[in-house]
Structure 1
Amino acid sequence: MRQFDFMGKRRLAFIASAVMVLVSIIALAVQQLNLGLDFTGGTLVEVRYAVAPSLDSVRQLLENAGFRDISVQTFGAANEVLIRLQQAYDDNVGEQVVGLLSESGDRVNLVRAEFVGAQVGEQLRDRSGLGMLVALGIVMVYVAFRFQYKFALGALLALVHDVIITLGVFSLFQIEFDLTVLAALLAVIGYSLNDTIVVYDRIRENIRKSRIDDMTQIFNDAINMTLARTLATSGTTLLVLLALLTLGGDMIEGFALALLVGVGVGTFSSIYVASALLLTLKLQRQDLIPAQKEDPEAEELP
């Protein structure tokens, strides 16, 4: 089997990671996230058409009527449309939307019109952010307990790297960020950690069994041993996510896109961030195999 020199390219990988993280941070600072109705509050209107409509035409009709910050997507069946409006709730907004959509000659019925308050959205935003921080903290403690503190630091930086880049993609292209995307981010943390643990496990075993002290070679051997498993897992996952993105409809588009970006970046980071950082942190055999203490009684024996 061909051996790839992953660690020999780690400096180029560090530069690529630094550029992606920097662009993501700038995008988040300047443009911020395009928060959905779950976080900002607003009005939700669900309507049912007799025949499945064109979502672009529905969006255009509402924009021409003066509505702004509109999100239009199918909900369940193709003839059921969910409309999100980031504006204050009005008791007549459901009838107004149905009246506008009926002007095109389609038969439209109102299913529901609901209001999500800004206070609820703010609470969801704060609690979701806290939940993500707690998840990262627990991950660091777990890896430090199972491996060693240098492994924990590498895993934590890799997870932060994956989350920032995924958020940066949504900020840079102003893709709507809602609770489904947040759920995808938490799934990305789990997926990336699992991939990192597999590589770490092999690195630890190779360090303990190897008779050489060339850590770069030991790391390359470990990563090459897990490469087939990594490519098979990531490849099949990406194929499923591509199918969800193209065929799953608007309801899970953000979810599938976040996972698609996160899994791709997570596969990269498990090799070039989590693993390569261990070399930067000067991981040595002594970190995993403590030196045995000499027995003073044995020295006194004649």
Structure 2
Amino acid sequence: MAFRLKLVPDNTKIDFFKNQALTFGFAILSMVASVIIVAIMGLNFGIDFRGGTTIRAETTTEIDLGEYRSALEALDLGDVVITEVYDPSFRADQHVAQIRIQAQDDSESVTPEMIAQVEAELEKVDPAVNFTSVESVGPKVSGELIQSAVLSVLAAAAGIGIYIWMRFEWQFSLGTVLASLHDVIVTVGLFSLFQIKFDLTTVAALLTIMGYSVNDTVVVFDRLRENLQKYKTTPLRDLMNLSLNETLGRTVMVVATMLLSLIALLIFGGDVLRGFVAAITFGVVLGTYSSIYMAKNFVLWLGVNREPKEKKKAGTTFADIDA
């Protein structure tokens, strides 16, 4: 007989509304606390948002990024990101690295003297290295990137709201958007609290979090819509509990699988990936919590139109659109 791993027993009957004032209140309180923390402590912006200088280095020998980082640590330059560039058009003996250094003391860019020191240290590691370009990103461009990051998150939230409204009803749309914004805001608050570096990869992680949160919430709402058609007289609260219990096994299995890979990346992924993976890890946990304890409460508070199917389908006129 085949072995099947079950993290959740069949036919669970958990009352997810038992302590709804506490669970839903904690979600709202965490959003407010996150906004306050960001306002007081600020974010530990990376080079993308703070401004700085990018040096392009080329060499004919294999690049050891660890040696490059070690060589620059003594200069105390603050946030330094070193990445190797790959391009199919490169020669076999052409190896390229980008060294990104944060602006020093709120200046427009790294001083020529500091750039000379960086180049000298790297030449000690690799005498064959050549520096082909030096580019600076000032505070004005960094400010525009911050605005673009905020707009991208808001645009994603608006798009999610429109999709869920078309797929279900406007009440589901508002609940999903609120849950997604909860995940993003609290994640940003955690980044501020622990002063984890916040850069463009973190913004990409926040958008990924929104997608995961929506996917998790839609699974529950889709089952709820099926149950609304199946049990026409059952109270909405009981149907929500039933839907959550029916999808609980899937939710726990997905979260456990994702956390296994994310924790491995947190431990072994290195500094370059740590901020991105940390954001995704926070988001997976928060997204699961908001899908179970936040989105449904908001929908229950707003209510759902439960007219008979011949008068109005459970959902909107767009309810039969394939996901």
TM norm. shorter chain > 0.5: yes
The total of aligned residue pairs comes to 281
Change (3 A) 1:51 1:120: closer
| Amino acid across the alignment from 2:253 | A
Distance in 2 (CA, whole Å) between partners of 1:155 and 1:211 is: 23
Residues in 2 aligned to 1:16 and 1:130: alpha-carbon distance in whole angstroms:
27
- Give the structure with the larger helix fraction: 1
TM-superposed CA distance for 1:146, in Å, is: 1.3
**1:17 maps to 2:27:** yes
Question: In the alignment, what sits opposite 1:298?
Answer: none
In the other structure, the counterpart of 1:31 is 41
Q: Give the secondary-structure state (helix, strand or coil) at the position aligned to 1:84.
A: strand
User: Alignment partner of 1:8: what SS?
Assistant: coil
2:135 corresponds to 1:114: yes
* Structure 1: distance between partners of 2:67 and 2:45: 26
Taking structure 1 as reference, are residues 51 and 40 closer, same or farther at Cα in structure 2, changes over 3 Å only?
Answer: closer
Residue correspondence of structure 1 range 108-147 to structure 2 within 5 A: 113-147=134-168
Is 2:75 the partner of 1:62? yes
- The CA RMSD over aligned residues, in Å, is 2.8
Q: Tell me, what secondary structure is at the counterpart of 2:42? A: coil
- Cα offsets for 1:62-113 (capped at 9, x unmatched): 23xxx4xx12455359xx89452223232342221344688xx866757564
What code does the residue aligned with 1:32 have? G
Give 1:27 deviation, angstroms.
0.9
> Deviation at 1:53?
4.4
Task: Give yes or no for contact 2:72–2:118 (8 Å, CA) kept in 1.
Answer: no
| Residue 144 to residue 211, structure 1, CA distance change in 2 (3 Å) | closer
The aligned runs of 1:1-302 (5 Å cut-off) are 1=10, 2-45=12-55, 52-53=66-67, 58-59=72-73, 61-63=74-76, 67=77, 70-72=78-80, 75-76=83-84, 82=99, 84-87=101-104, 88-99=109-120, 113-283=134-304, 285-286=306-307, 289=309, 291=311
- CA distance in 1 between partners of 2:189 and 2:37 (Å): 6
Report the secondary structure of 1:62's partner residue: coil
**Is the Cα contact below 8 Å between 1:13 and 1:272 reproduced in 2?**
yes
Partner AA of 1:202 in structure 2: R
Report the TM-score, using the length of structure 1 for normalisation.
0.82
Say if 1:54 and 1:75 are closer, same or farther in 2 by CA, change over 3 A.
Answer: closer
How far apart, in 2, do the equivalents of 1:245 and 1:171 lie?
Answer: 18
Q: Which residue of 2 aligns with 1:299?
A: none
TM-score by length of 2: 0.77
Q: Which moves more between the two structures, 19-28 or 46-55?
A: 46-55
Letter in 1 for 2:256: G
Structure 1: segments with no counterpart, 5+ residues: 293-302
Contact 1:74 1:249 in 2 (8 A): no
CA distance in 2: counterparts of 1:72 and 1:115, whole angstroms: 14
What SS is found at the alignment partner of 1:5?
coil
Q: Distance in 1 between matches of 2:289 and 2:173?
A: 18
